[in-house]
Structure formats: C-alpha cells, structure tokens
A = this chain, B = another copy of it.
Amino acid sequence: MTIGIEEANREALDRIFRAEPVWTGVRPAGEVIEGLGEGILLHAGPPIEWERMCGPLRGAVAGAIVLEGWAGTLDEAAKLAESGDIAFHPNHHFGAVGPMTGITSRSQPVMIVENKAFGNRSFCTLNEGLGKVMRFGGNDEAVIDRLRWLGDTLGPALAAALESAGGVALKGIVARGLSMGDEMHQRNVACTSLLLRELAPALARTSPDAEKLAGILEFIGGNDQFFLNLGMAIGKAVMDPARDIEGSTVVTAMSRNGTDFGVRVSGTGDAWFTAPVEMPAGLYFPGFSEADANPDMGDSTILETMGLGGFAMAAAPAVAGFVGAGSAADALNCTRTMYEITSGRSPEWTLPALDFQGVPTGIDIMKVIETGIAPVINTGIAHKEAGIGQVGAGVVRAPMACFEAALEAFAEKMGVDSE
C-alpha cells in the first residue's frame, strides 16, 4: 500500500510541476462562473452558514449585497443575509478562490487563469488595494465605489489588454519573483512590478483615453499586493488537476473562513477536513493589538499549498521581519522545515538564498502527522469587527486536527478500497 501511495504522490507532484498557468482574461464573475447568479455569494474557506460567520466575513457579505443592489443599506443587507434568502458557497466549489473574506459576487470582475497543460480554469477577483477593503471586511461607500471602478474601468481595460497581448504566462513571473524577494503571499512587490512591465505596452495599445490609462497604471503601480489575487488563481489552477488521485496523501487545498480551517487531500476527493482556525502571531499596525484581531481567514493558503507563501520564506527575508518571523536565518530555516513535510521540490521555482533549491511542494499529510510539523502560513490579519479592515500581518499554523482527520479518512478509504 505504501508503494501505491508513493506512486500516487509522484503523480500528484508531476501534475503540479507540469502546470502552465496563463492569465487569459477578466470577466464579470456571473458570466464565467457557472451557477453564480442572483442571491448567491461565494466566500473563502470551507462551507459556513451566516450564524457561524465571523465579523469581517459578515461585513463583506453585507457590502457585496449592497454592491449587487439586493439591498439598499448595510443593515438591510445583514437582515437579508440572516433571513436565509442568500445562498452561501465556498469559492473552491466553483473553481474560484478569494483572499481573506474572499467574497465573490456576480458583478465583480474576476481574473481567469487557464492551466494550459490540463485545460482547467480558475477565477479570482481583482485586488482592491490596501486600507479599508472588502476582503478585510470593509463595506462603506468608498469600498463599494472602488469595487464599482474595478468593474467599470479596470476590469474591461485589463480584459482588452490581455486579449491584445494573447494572455500573460505566469510561471516565469513567479520564478523571477522568488529571486526578487517575493513569497507571493505577504510580499508581491516584484511580481506586481514584473506584471505591470509586461502588461503596460498592451494597456497602452488598447486604452485610448490617456487619463484613464494613467489612472489604471497608477492603481496597479500603487498597490504592491496587486499580484496576490493572481498568485491565488495560479494556485487554484495548478492544484486542481492534482485532485482525486486514488492513494495520494498530497494536500490539494488549505483554506479558512475565519471560523474553520479546512483541508482537502487528493486521495479523499473533495471532502473538507476542518478544525477551528488559529490566531496568527504577528505584528500589528499602530493603534491595534491582538485583542482586535480576527482569527485566520481566506483562500490565500492555496499559495502555501503549492509551495509559496510561508513555504518560500527563504526567498523573502524582508517578509520575515514584516510578519514578525525573525531574522534572515529564521527565514531560511522556515523553508528548510517545510521540506520535511512535502513530497518534492519545484524544478522551476527556486530559491537563490538556498543555492537554487526548489520550493517545498506537495504537503503530505502522512509526513505532517509523522513529524508533528504543521504547515506554516504567512497571512494578513483582519479586525474582528465588520467594516474596519486590516490591522496587521503574521504567521499562523494549519491546525493539526485537520491533518489527523484527513489521515483517518484516508486510511479508512484505503482500507475499504483494498477489501
């Protein structure tokens, strides 16, 4: 049986490494995500009902309902959400991912990433920038207005530029980003800059209004985390083909909704193994402290699932400082430790500071349990109340209980299969 598992895990890794993610377009979510219609909202993490949602997720839900015009005010929106007339589903069930609260609603533009090696597609909203934003539970007029600008102006402009450019291949941008201090979760300054560099000529060719073009270049250029959402879409597009490989103990998704942390494993299909989310340990923005913090949240752990974020901490000593994870040596050791719980090392995404060893890829639930080492995650920290936003950044661990439950279910399934 162990040999079967090794083979299955090699197959999972092979699919991950053969992926060819390309940013092909931007469209309103309702046009490209099948089944995302009126009265439906997608959220980060495993399934959750309104009653159990945390403050920022509720705030984002209310904001999205106002954005979609299903209610006129945030209060009415909250009542509508509570009434049971809004259906909530995980992004992951619809081929999508979203950072933090991760709300995806039908009118929001989503980036489309196609995995050319396998033909599957993934979706993620456009990054809103920093400050008060919906992904951190912000929902006031400024937040809604910016979301409308993303839909009216930025989304269509990016769509036209991508069509003109024939898409943007993303694997090489991530590879360069890793040699430029990004780990693509808490630091995307290099990838954002490289992306803008690549897309700017096509934007110039397809945006006839100079002032509008300048505004678009300023918005992307003014937001170091613009690439984050694209990195997440890469993660979803890369990891999805590794789902459902019989006998594989490789993790295909880690995700959190602010209440529960969920893990999916290749050999157990699309079942979620959940446990209560943990509280990040990190650094807080001036005026905030751990007392303000919401527990861990977002689909962004798809980055760690494919070997980036905390797993690629060695690429980003500057992030180690930002998230309170220590010195440059600690950053190297963080990645080294993740080699102990992964199935392989990426042949193309390498770390100069570790003499070009590949990032640790393919979390193996058996190794997690054997070593007692939980996957490390770099994360933003949201205020626990709705409407406030980001208060810090830190490091958090995936809860061990998820992996224990997953391994139990896996063993049971293998036992049943081998009868």
Contacts and interface: CB of A to CB of B under 8 A. Distances in A.
Interface in A210-263: 210-211, 213-215, 217-218, 220-221
A198 interface: yes
Interface centre among A197, A202, A215 (most CB of B within 10 A): A197
B201 A204 contact: no
Contacts of A220: 197
A204 to B, nearest CB: 4
A190 interface: yes
A387 interface: no
A41 interface: no
A370 B355 CA distance: 33
Nearest to A209: B204
Interface in A183-219: 189-190, 192-194, 196-198, 200-202, 204-205, 208, 210-211, 213-215, 217-218
B200 A176 contact: no
A318 interface: yes
A400 interface: no
Interface in A38-64: none
Interface size class of A (residues with CB under 8 A): 35 or more
A153 interface: no
A357 to B, nearest CB: 10
A414 interface: no
Contact of A200 (B200, B205, B208, B356): B200
B180 A201 contact: no
A324 to B, nearest CB: 14
Contacts of A201: 214-215, 217-218, 221
A317 interface: yes
A352 B196 contact: no
Number of copies: 2
A200 B215 CA distance: 10
Contact of A327 (B197, B213, B355): B355
Nearest to A221: B197
A353 interface: yes
A377 to B, nearest CB: 21
Nearest to A197: B221
A5 to B, nearest CB: 34
A200 B210 contact: no
Contact of A196 (B180, B197, B205): B197
Nearest to A200: B217
A24 interface: no
A179 interface: yes
Contacts of A181: 179-181, 190, 352
B180 A198 contact: no
A196 B204 contact: no
Contacts of A204: 204, 210, 213-214, 217
Contact of A352 (B176, B190, B198, B328): B328
Given A196-B200, A321-B352, A353-B353, 20 more contacts: A176-B189, A179-B318, A180-B189, A180-B190, A181-B181, A181-B352, A190-B190, A192-B197, A197-B217, A197-B220, A197-B221, A200-B200, A200-B221, A201-B215, A201-B218, A318-B352, A321-B356, A328-B353, A328-B354, A328-B355
Closest 5 CB pairs of A and B: A193-B193, A317-B352, A197-B221, A201-B214, A204-B214
